[in-house]
Amino acid sequence: RSVIKLFIMLYDCGVTDEGCAALASALRSNPSHLRKLDLSLNELGDSGCPQMTEDDVF
């Protein structure tokens, strides 16, 4: 049985707080083998992306 490790790079893509919440919801409802998610240099507010926790998404 092979395991796919998923890496999502959304570096500097204009992701907002709203987009981050939608991404977190999609990842929770569709369990994956996500190992790395890069949201660097996006338009996230001061709180970052609180909907995206390691326990919920990874």
pLDDT tens, position by position, 1-58: 666 777 888 889 999 988 888 888 888 887 667 788 888 898 888 777 777 766 655 5
Q: Is the pTM of this model over 0.85?
A: no
Residue 42 carries which side chain, given as an amino acid letter? N
Q: Is 6 helix (H, G, I), strand (E, B) or coil?
A: strand
- Which residue from 16, 13, 32, 22 is spatially nearest to 52, judged by alpha carbons? 22
Residue 57, CA distances (Å) to 1, 8, 21 in order: 22, 12, 12
Tell me the C-alpha distance between 41 and 13, whole Å.
Answer: 8
